[in-house]
Structure 1
Amino acid sequence: MKIGVFRGYSRALKNKYEEGKTTEYSYRGIFESFLKFLFSNKEEYQIKAIKVTQEPGKETFGAPDFKIFTSKGIIGYIETKHPDMDLHKLPKRDKHQIKRYSERLDNFILTNYRDFILYQNGEKVEEVLLIDENFNLIESNIERFQRLIDRFLSFTIPKIQEPELLAKILAQRTMILKDIVLENIDMDEQLQYLHKAFKEHLMSGMTKTEFADAYAQTVVYGLFMARFTIKGELTRENVAFRGIPKSLRVVHEIFRYIASDLPDYLEWIVEELIGILNNVDIEELRKRFHFGNGEFDPFLHFYETFLAEYNPKLRKSKGVYYTPIPVVEFIVNSVDEILKEKFGKRLHDEGITILDPATGTGTFLAGVLDRIHRNIRGTLFQLYLKERLLNNIYGFEILISPYLVAHLKLSMVLNQWGIKLNDNERFKIYLTNALDLMRERGQAGLFEMALDRESEEADRVKKDAKIFVVIGNPPYDVKPSEGWIAELMEDYLHGLGVENEKKKGALQDDYVKFIRFAQWKIDQNGKGIIGFITNNSYLDGLVHRRMRQSLMESFDEIYILNLHGNAIKGDNDENVFDIKQGVAIAFFVKLREGKHRAEECRVYYHSIVNDSKKTTREEKYEFLRNNSWKTIEWKVLTPKEPYYFFVPKDLSLEEEYSKFPKLDEIFEVYSSGVETQNDAATIAFTREELKQRIKDFLKLSTEEIRHKYGFKDKSVWNLNDATKVLNSDFSRYGDFERWFTEKAKLYLYRPFDYRWVFYLPRKFIGRARYPVMKHFILGTNLGLVISKLSTYLGDFSIFAIVTDKPADKHTLLAGKTVVNKSITVVFPLYIYSDDGKTKRPNLKPEFLEELRKRYGEITPEDFLYYAYAVLHDPKYRKRYAEFLKFDFPRIPLYNKETFEKYKKIGEELVKLHLMKVDFPIEPKLVGDNLAIEKVKYDGKDCVAINKTTKLCGIPPEVWEYTIGGYRVIEKYLKGRKGRKLSLEELEHVYKVVEILKRTIELVKELEKIEPKFA
């Protein structure tokens, strides 16, 4: 190209700039002319058009400024900025915009008309400064610039044959489309109309962000569906009128809008998506999307890949998890077996209606079709399909993209068997929230009428349709129940004392609501089967006891196949899903109408885990492949009131244990420990550290505090609010020392780990538990600290500690050796008057009277010593292990002689654990660097705290000593990682070593006691 063109371009830019008051758009005409000159000499690239996609004055996020076409379609995009803008120091908004373009468009140039940066496949690949800041042409860079343009023009996307590649490319464009919708919705009447319609007719609380997400995925998956149904190339028009079946009314109406005159900010990305899908090797993709190739579901795999790229958080929040084919086939085949064995029916028989209330991508319903197809082959299957299956198979799905995938999948499954649905035929999979009913209808346009009709038909199924089989994998998502499902959930929330439980959040998990909904549908039918795989916490969760009783009242037989896999509990096995929560398959079988006594229900159980070794995911799949409901050796359970556990429990000692008084029956006042909601800000290792931090909070800005301490705002703890609270409280004192001394408290943070807390309730301390903790502040006191729901894996770890100070919620927090993450509950021994002048025992008067009848004039301290010893007795923890898993411990009241033995040892234990003892302390150090970098025990005598220093003289039994799931010494040291141990802390460690040595000796003495009742 002649150099004169470049010089002319440089002069034109300079002249325009010198006119003054220019914007980015002022230079567009000059640049467009320059591009035409450039491309006119590039005939080999067959440049078809250069299109300006954004008009001057429109500052909204949408299309890049220029779109470059070849004869084969879109080749790339160019985004322009003002010549004064430094492309390496973009303002925040522009930086975010360019990040989106460069990461999600395959071929993209950013320029300020002088400097040019080329991005390809998300990477910066070329940069050339063509014109300097004084608008002087840099002639030596012309050749490099031409190479950049050649590289831009020669870029081609290869024919897409791999579903994984297509999923990732579509996900990147979906992110752009979502952002465009979100940023333009307030000025686009059509988008506002669609959002309003979705809110009023589908999901009442749908935010703009949720709408933008639903819209973007609808467009992308609608186009994806059309690519499989339309012969030849896609266009916006043929997608709308031939690519989307008219029977999918909601999606069809959205694509009528797509076919109309779209604004530029939407049109470009829709055309980009169509171009990508037209570049797909559709025949190769059809081969890849073949359902029934072993245990691979290509549709679900495609959607999983898409979500992982597009929005992994959405997957987690909505509980969207891949259901492995062995699980699906096991459940489907088992349901068919139960139908045949118990009801004399099969999945395809008249009257067998099937519902998947959380359809997802349709994997379970595809499995149902496959099972039926294997039962009845040939043309007979097509007759059954048209006469029964299309009318008898139902599904609900709230997310629009898996809804579309499910319809596409089932239609392609039929295509594999030579069956094609007519345009007015569809599976009765509805876009709806299974747990909600439609709102009142108002005036409706075409789109609203389509939504209304979809919702009306779904509601008819929810309320009136007789359903024989409910099958599937419900989502996991804890949120409050609302509306219609909230009424059904009342059955699980009232009874057996569940209504009195303070923490019932586990009953608000969506999977529980789906079980309740399924139970209601089967009750409504009078007989039938539920086949679900769900979170397994309901099998033995304490708050689930009424749920279990209710299920036993509805169903005649219940089969639980426990797949375990709870990483939170520390299960020694792998999960069948990529989640931490354990799961179970359940079959609930109703043989007769109406309700009956829970005890009439027969409950069967089987564990898939081999306790002797780790059970892998593949071993679990193999079990499911080789077994079904009929071949499993089920163990009979006899769930009893009040807990009705769905897992084996050795409750043979229940009658004995239940006679003992429980801690919450002994003490009047108690609560969980303090929850600061931001330990890093409110708790310090020393009083001086805490004092300096509070001084900073009073005098520094929140930004300065964040910089100094590295704090980050949390939803439950806002730094701005905290500083306001501190300043407001301080203003009533004036004297800092007096104020600080009154609020700063020594605090039991972890076992033998005391720290300083600034104890100021209301916003600075999230949950101060003052009504209980004040009894440790107003005067001298003792208290039991207990870990409720202390389920252990067999080592019977200590789950109690004693305190004379306020205690943290996680003083005793389940670690790897403990199954449930439990909270700390604090029972003070005395209750103080508000002025701190008087106190009284916190033992209930009737209980204190019973103690004195048995043991004479004993003090509250005597009972605490006794109870503390009992809780440390290995015999007690082992004998009553099952009962200690699900409630506060009960304290056996032995005879007076035994009481005295326990009391004596308990008193010493209390003094030891309050550290009110003196031992000769001799730290044994190897090295002199006390900075804690990495804590590692050698298994013999020493723990390394960094590369050069070890703390020795710590025997293995002391190192392994566990309280509340923590190795005591290890927890103390790891809690100070990144700090240098002070001499006081070093001496503290060795004092704890001596305390634990003596504790171990006393526990052995406890084990020798032969307790006797009066």
Structure 2
Amino acid sequence: MAEQLGIVYTPVEIVDFIIHSVNDVLKKEFDRSISDENIHILDPFTGTGTFITRLLQSGLIKDVDLQRKYKQELHANEIVLLAYYIATVNIENAYHDLIPKTEDNVKNQNYVPFEGIVLTDTFQLGETNESEVLFSETFPQNSARATKQKKTPVRVIIGNPPYSIGQKSANDNAQNQSYPNLEKRIENTYVASSSAGLNKSLYDAYIKAFRWSTDRLKSDQGGIIAFVTNGSWLDGNSTDGFRKTIENEFSSIWVFNLRGNQRTSGELSRREGGKIFGSGSRAPISITLLVKNPDATNKKATIHYHDIGDYLSREEKLKIITGLGSVGNPRMSWKTIHPNKHGDWINHRNDAFESFIPLAPEKKFDLKGQSFFVVQGPGILTSRDIWVYGFSRNHMAQNVRALIAFYNSQRSEFETKRINKPDIKVGDFINSDPTKISWTRALKKDLEKNKPHSFHESKITEGYYRPFCKQSLYYDKSLVESPGLNQIYFPKPKTENVIISIPGVGGTKDFTTVISNSPTDYQVQFNNQCFPLYYFEERQKNSPSLFDAAGDREYIRRDGVSDFIFKRAQKQYGKNVTKEDIFYYVYGFLHSPDYRTTFANDLKKMLPRLPLVDDVRDFWKFSKAGRQLAELHIEYESVPPYPEVKVTGDDSGYFKVQKMRFPKKGQKDTIIFNSKIIISNIPDKAYEYVVNGKSAIEWIMERYQVTIDKKSQIKNDPNDWSKEVGNPRYILDLLLSIINVSVQTVDIVSGSITNRVGNQI
């Protein structure tokens, strides 16, 4: 259950910082203290009781107030039974350790239980009338405590809310609990204020905790919410509505950004520093205090922001937190944040970006749209990659056949079960053994509909799985959860087309782009968005799905580049400009270092917008460079090795790879290919070509290794690809080619593209 709830226990350094911060802000805003009467404090997600325990031990509660505070004004909730018992013991022990000794130097032996803790799901409190009697049959005293707590005027809410947003996969049947009332409040506040298209993250558990806590505070009395949480909300594109709302709902806000986002890579990851929760969370972390002061006159919150700094280890961060002690420490250099119209608090967008022409249309296939392309869509999202992708066509086909056979057996058994038990639910029936099947929402629906599936050899194609890594792909809608628009980009196996891939909105890595000529996966870039040179319409009407057998279907080729941009470019640069020229202009421009640097924040929060450069000579330089780059990046397998690279051991004839590696950390001029072959004298420049947060060379090293999936136990061996293409040296030749591709890419970008954006930015 702890994993389902996203529970991660909190370092005491952070707990102490939050407790002392609350006390300082209480004094500053309300002229009160934690020790004062009627300052009720609630930890709604208490875990093992660390926050309440450390509060008792903090010295912030006066001896004269201790008994009253313990018996009447400290409250905690916990849903995990074991943690509930541990928290109770911890809190009670902390209190009794503080009880003054008698004149005989003996502790008062009257044991006082902590009655402020409730075994409950905090979010469920108040959802329905049933929540009034939660656990009432098993723990009647618990129900009375819950009812009492709900009537208590809480002034301070502290803690570490759970982070989880949902199941990791549909194989996990422990679907997270639904809270209709709370989710409606989120819809009417955070979602209503958001301009983002996808709002799933606004229903994350820690965001729910902020919403629940905000509604729990009494408006006439005010109060403080002090949480340590996932810090993604600070700069997330989809959490703009949350930021806008809390700015309006509170009078002052304090944010201590602890960084540590390890969903990044390379230099950015190193700059983010250590993970505060160790292996417990890879997310960025922030400490947030939201203050609701009814006497405040400002209409919007004053937002105070402090960044802990770059390149700090976990231990260094905890030492800094301990040294500062509280948001009230004058040594904390607070910066006042002024949100822009987009709801950006940090990493503001550049206003000039909006004056450019959008790459993507507002509406797909809008032939009158004013954008570079008329269509764009996500890459292929299978939700079961290990089953439907593979370096070996035959092994992948065997895996797919086995999965389909198991699915059909489950389907038959389910139908038999339904005869005697018609109300049986799919989730309660299915076998989720990951060595036999990978369930998804769509496959479960098929089971419920008693829809059979069968294997079709013709559905096997070649997929562009990761940068410069192709694998065999079983491309059938029965097993591809979200096919994107690849069925209209590549309606037939040998369809000739070219796709520009860029990251989707909300990524953490620096912007990059790559190009391919085959069906492209959703994670070639972060949530990959594909822009085609062409798309295809079926000539026949009311025809079967494009996933069905191709038969004799005919297709009409349409241009992906819009007539709008074509006419503008011809007017600006001359009638000899073609849509293909514009397509490669886009690819060239997206490689501009000036563009990527100037609009780095925009490119994380929005899809690209580009200008048509003023000077016709610059247009052709971008277009020509884009063509050169596209040829390199599409025909990468045929690029000759970089001439200065040295290869030893290839005369051994042993080309199988297990896992390529560098000789030691930081030494990248040499790659140990296998036990016989070593590649050396690799230029530093080659590592400057980065796609999706990683150098092209390191993509080859990562993807072309033998792996065994932990859950399914499926083996994926890149040496099988070498056999299937009939070239034992394939992986070695590929690596040598990519080194040269990388060097040439850097040369083209630095020679033809750098500083060509000019006064456009």
**Contact 1:467-1:525 within 8 A present in 2 as well:** no
Q: Does 1:505 align with 2:182?
A: no
What is the correspondence of 1:714-753 to structure 2 with a 5 Å cutoff?
714-716=438-440, 728-729=453-454, 740=457, 742-753=458-469
Flag the 1:592–1:959 CA change in 2: closer, same or farther, 3 A: same
Flag the 1:436–1:893 CA change in 2: closer, same or farther, 3 A: same
Find the partner of 1:926 among 645, 648, 659.
Answer: 648
Alpha-carbon deviation of 1:965? Answer: 2.1
Aligned to 1:399: 80
Q: Does 1:376 align with 2:376?
A: no
Number of equivalences: 652
Alpha-carbon deviation of 1:987? Answer: 3.7
Q: Does 1:837 align with 2:558?
A: no
Higher mean C-alpha deviation, range 918-927 or range 958-967? 918-927
Find the partner of 2:532 among 828, 836, 841.
Answer: 828
Q: Does 1:884 align with 2:603?
A: yes
Alpha-carbon deviation of 1:790? Answer: 7.1
Aligned to 1:474: 161
Find the partner of 1:915 among 635, 643, 646.
Answer: 635
Q: Could you tell me the TM-score, scaled by structure 1's length? A: 0.58
Q: Does 1:948 align with 2:676?
A: yes
The structure whose RCO (Cα within 8 Å, separation 6+) is larger is 2
Higher mean C-alpha deviation, range 917-926 or range 963-972? 917-926
Secondary structure of the residue that 2:470 maps to in structure 1? strand
Distance 2:608 2:401 in 1: 43
Q: Does 1:1007 align with 2:754?
A: yes
**Contact 1:356-1:394 within 8 A present in 2 as well:** yes
Distance 2:520 2:733 in 1: 23
Q: Could you tell me the TM-score, scaled by structure 2's length? A: 0.76
Alpha-carbon deviation of 1:350? Answer: 3.3
Letter in 2 for 1:577: F
Q: Does 1:516 align with 2:516?
A: no
Aligned to 2:418: none
**Contact 1:492-1:544 within 8 A present in 2 as well:** no
Aligned to 2:358: 662
Q: Does 1:900 align with 2:620?
A: yes
Flag the 1:692–1:925 CA change in 2: closer, same or farther, 3 A: farther
**Contact 2:35-2:65 within 8 A present in 1 as well:** no
Alpha-carbon deviation of 1:405? Answer: 3.1
Distance 1:843 1:694 in 2: 37
Deviation track 1:907-963 (CA, whole Å, cap 9, x = no partner) reads 221122111896556896422210112312464754221122124574332255321
Deviation track 1:517-569 (CA, whole Å, cap 9, x = no partner) reads 11122353442111111111111111111111111101111111112233333
Flag the 1:905–1:451 CA change in 2: closer, same or farther, 3 A: same
**Contact 1:436-1:484 within 8 A present in 2 as well:** no
Aligned to 2:384: 678
Distance 1:700 1:515 in 2: 43
Note the residue ranges of structure 2 that are not aligned, 5 or more in a row: 101-107, 167-175, 362-370, 410-433, 540-553, 707-717, 723-727
Alpha-carbon deviation of 1:805? Answer: 1.6
Distance 1:758 1:947 in 2: 33
Flag the 1:907–1:713 CA change in 2: closer, same or farther, 3 A: same
Deviation track 1:272-291 (CA, whole Å, cap 9, x = no partner) reads xxxxxxxxxxxxxxxxxxxx
**Contact 1:790-1:799 within 8 A present in 2 as well:** no
Aligned to 2:423: none
Alpha-carbon deviation of 1:859? Answer: 3.0
Alpha-carbon deviation of 1:594? Answer: 9.5
Q: Does 1:427 align with 2:82?
A: no
Alpha-carbon deviation of 1:777? Answer: 2.5
What is the correspondence of 1:852-871 to structure 2 with a 5 Å cutoff?
852-857=570-575, 858-871=577-590
**Contact 2:44-2:158 within 8 A present in 1 as well:** yes
Flag the 1:920–1:509 CA change in 2: closer, same or farther, 3 A: closer
Flag the 1:549–1:594 CA change in 2: closer, same or farther, 3 A: farther
Aligned to 1:390: 71
Letter in 1 for 2:658: E
Alpha-carbon deviation of 1:1003? Answer: 0.6
Letter in 2 for 1:1009: R
Letter in 2 for 1:907: R
Find the partner of 1:587 among 252, 268, 289.
Answer: 289
What is the correspondence of 1:746-785 to structure 2 with a 5 Å cutoff?
746-763=462-479, 765-769=480-484, 771-778=485-492, 779-785=495-501
Alpha-carbon deviation of 1:603? Answer: 0.9
Secondary structure of the residue that 1:518 maps to in structure 2? helix
Secondary structure of the residue that 1:885 maps to in structure 2? helix
**Contact 1:831-1:841 within 8 A present in 2 as well:** yes
Flag the 1:405–1:998 CA change in 2: closer, same or farther, 3 A: closer
Distance 1:442 1:926 in 2: 71
Deviation track 1:439-466 (CA, whole Å, cap 9, x = no partner) reads 4469999x8467566446525644x542
Distance 1:808 1:725 in 2: 29
Alpha-carbon deviation of 1:629? Answer: 1.5
Distance 1:343 1:664 in 2: 50
Aligned to 1:529: 224
Alpha-carbon deviation of 1:878? Answer: 1.4
Letter in 2 for 1:873: S
Find the partner of 2:740 among 994, 1005, 1014.
Answer: 994
Letter in 1 for 2:685: E
Alpha-carbon deviation of 1:1002? Answer: 0.7
Secondary structure of the residue that 1:882 maps to in structure 2? helix
What is the correspondence of 1:213-232 to structure 2 with a 5 Å cutoff?
none
Letter in 2 for 1:390: K
Find the partner of 2:41 among 344, 354, 364.
Answer: 354
Distance 2:378 2:240 in 1: 22
Aligned to 2:13: 326
Of all paired residues, the percent bearing the same amino acid is 24
Q: Does 1:628 align with 2:326?
A: yes
Aligned to 1:639: 339
Flag the 1:943–1:917 CA change in 2: closer, same or farther, 3 A: closer
Find the partner of 2:594 among 870, 875, 879.
Answer: 875
Secondary structure of the residue that 1:1002 maps to in structure 2? helix
Alpha-carbon deviation of 1:435? Answer: 0.5
**Contact 2:195-2:241 within 8 A present in 1 as well:** yes
Aligned to 1:806: 519
Distance 1:348 1:755 in 2: 64
Letter in 1 for 2:180: G
Distance 1:351 1:518 in 2: 18
Distance 1:444 1:663 in 2: 55
**Contact 1:782-1:803 within 8 A present in 2 as well:** yes
Question: Which structure carries more helix by proportion?
Answer: 1
Find the partner of 1:556 among 228, 251, 271.
Answer: 251
Letter in 1 for 2:387: A
Flag the 1:466–1:593 CA change in 2: closer, same or farther, 3 A: farther
Flag the 1:468–1:856 CA change in 2: closer, same or farther, 3 A: farther
Aligned to 1:970: 698
Alpha-carbon deviation of 1:1013? Answer: 4.6
Flag the 1:619–1:424 CA change in 2: closer, same or farther, 3 A: closer
Secondary structure of the residue that 2:124 maps to in structure 1? coil
Deviation track 1:306-360 (CA, whole Å, cap 9, x = no partner) reads xxxxxxxx43333443322222221111111111122111112233222211122
Aligned to 1:191: none
**Contact 1:935-1:970 within 8 A present in 2 as well:** no
Kindly report the root-mean-square deviation, in angstroms, between the aligned alpha carbons of the 2 structures: 3.8
Q: Does 1:458 align with 2:142?
A: no
Flag the 1:410–1:831 CA change in 2: closer, same or farther, 3 A: same
Aligned to 1:614: 312
**Contact 2:637-2:734 within 8 A present in 1 as well:** no
Distance 2:586 2:132 in 1: 69
